[in-house]
């Protein structure tokens, strides 16, 4: 299974805007503070400042929105951020993400279909939306279902939509067993050769080796990385003997 280890750091294909490269920490800190305070005007000022430095929508998503969302998720998960501040930040970032999407440069259509689901938390839904928007701009025909969809419905959609890629982004620990069961079902039905499964973000970005354990074909730790690995590894598939969870049970069956 291919992917870039978080310890080695991601490879960004979107150039960092000059204004952000010169003082990224200051801009990210101002943006984070504005978001968790619900200060829409202050958040808008940071965006305008980045825009003055010729930052593209893709660069803002990659170098401003995602790092800040990741920090919000970590702070809230560690009880360092109140529910009110979490709601302020995620709702405001949702609004900003919606405004950025129409500005993404649209590449030629691939003629391939991608189904995407994610964790159920608001921040996971937002990360999923950000990823889905970037994938659509990269030429995929994207169906984004969000979180909380039963495996049976996902399997049915894979057949109905004739899905080529399934992306599961931002799962929380409680949903990992369900994700493993979903991948098992794809194998049981013989769909694993047709449908490449990529997992990323959320618990998969924090627990090294987890994606491999549950049988995912690819993994990525942030939205742009998802775009990259799907581009670079179109034929990669996890074989049954590479899995570390469930392998003994299946062989004994």
Residue 84, domain CATH: 1.10.1240.10
And the tokens for 215? 């049988």
Mean pLDDT, all residues of the chain: 85
Q: What pLDDT score was predicted for residue 204? A: 78
Q: Cα(68)–Cα(23) distance, rounded to whole angstroms?
A: 15
Residue 84 scores a pLDDT above 50: yes
DSSP 15-83: PPPHHHHHSHHHHHHHHHHHHHHT-HHHHHHHHHHHHHTT--HHHHIIIIIHHHHHHHHHHHHTT-S-H
- What percentage of the chain carries pLDDT values higher than 70? 84
Average confidence (pLDDT) over 136-160: 95
Residues 125 and 201 reside in one and the same domain: yes
Calculate the CA 222 to chain-centre distance: 5
Cβ density class 44-65: b for 16+ within 10 Å, e for less: eebbeebeeeebbbbbbbbbbb
Q: Answer with the residue of higher pLDDT: 27 or 172.
A: 27
pLDDT of residue 243: 52
pLDDT of 10 higher than 80? no
| Residue 152 shares a structural domain with residue 248 | yes
pTM of the model: 0.84
Tokens of 194: 């047709």
The boundaries of the domain holding residue 234 are 113-252
- Could you tell me if residue 8 is inside a domain? no
Give the residue-averaged pLDDT of 108-127. Answer: 93
Q: Give a yes or no: residue 4 inside a domain.
A: no
Q: Per-residue pLDDT for 40 more than 70?
A: yes
Q: Structurally, how many domains does the chain consist of? A: 2
pLDDT greater than 90 at residue 88: yes
Indicate whether 207 and 140 sit together in one domain. yes
Pairwise CA distance, residues 79 & 77, whole Å: 6
Task: Report if residue 245 sits inside a domain.
Answer: yes
Question: Average pLDDT, stretch 171-183?
Answer: 82
pLDDT at 14 (0 to 100):
46
Q: Is residue 130 domain-shared with residue 215, that is, in the same domain?
A: yes
Residue 12 domain-assigned (yes or no):
no
- Starting at the edge strand found earlier in the chain, the sheet holding 141-146 runs 141-146, 113-118, 165-169, 196-200, 218-220
pLDDT for residue 145 is more than 70: yes
122 and 246 assigned to the same domain: yes
Is 83 inside any structural domain? yes
136 lies in the same domain as 210 = yes
Count the Cβ atoms, other than its own, within 10 Å of residue 213: 15
Find out whether 175 and 148 touch, Cβ atoms under 8 Å: no
What would the pLDDT profile of 55-78 be if each residue is shown by its tens digit?
999 999 999 999 999 999 999 989
Last residue within a domain, chosen from 53, 76, 103: 103
Q: Given this model, what pLDDT does residue 46 score?
A: 95
- 208 and 128, same structural domain? yes
Mean pLDDT of 181-209: 86
Of these ranges, 19-33, 94-108, 218-232, the one predicted with the greatest mean pLDDT is: 94-108
Least confident stretch, 86-90, 113-117, 196-200: 196-200
Examine the fold and report which residue of 68, 103, 138 is the final residue of a domain before the chain moves on. Answer: 103
């Amino acid at each position: 299974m291919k992917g870039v280890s978080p310890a080695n750091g991601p490879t960004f294909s979107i150039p960092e805007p000059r204004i952000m490269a010169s003082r990224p920490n200051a801009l990210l800190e101002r943006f984070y503070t504005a978001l968790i305070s619900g200060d829409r005007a202050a958040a808008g000022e940071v965006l305008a400042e980045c825009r003055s430095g010729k930052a593209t929508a893709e660069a803002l998503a990659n170098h401003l929105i995602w790092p800040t969302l990741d920090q919000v998720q970590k702070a809230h998960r560690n009880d360092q951020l109140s529910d009110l501040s979490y709601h302020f930040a995620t709702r405001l970032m949702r609004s900003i993400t919606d405004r950025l999407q129409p500005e993404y440069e649209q590449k030629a259509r691939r003629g391939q279909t991608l189904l995407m689901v994610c964790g159920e938390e608001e921040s996971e839904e937002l990360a999923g939306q950000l990823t889905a928007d970037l994938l659509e701009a990269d030429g995929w025909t994207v169906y984004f279902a969000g979180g909380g969809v039963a495996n049976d419905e996902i399997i049915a959609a894979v057949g109905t939509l004739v899905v080529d890629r399934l992306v599961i982004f931002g799962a929380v620990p409680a949903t990992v067993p369900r994700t493993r069961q979903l991948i098992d079902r794809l194998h049981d039905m013989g769909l694993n050769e047709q449908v490449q499964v990529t997992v990323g973000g959320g618990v998969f970005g924090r627990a090294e080796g987890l994606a491999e354990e549950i049988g995912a074909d690819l993994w990525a730790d942030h939205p742009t990385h998802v775009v990259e690995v799907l581009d670079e590894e179109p034929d990669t598939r996890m074989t049954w003997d590479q899995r570390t969870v469930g392998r003994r049970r299946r062989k004994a069956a």
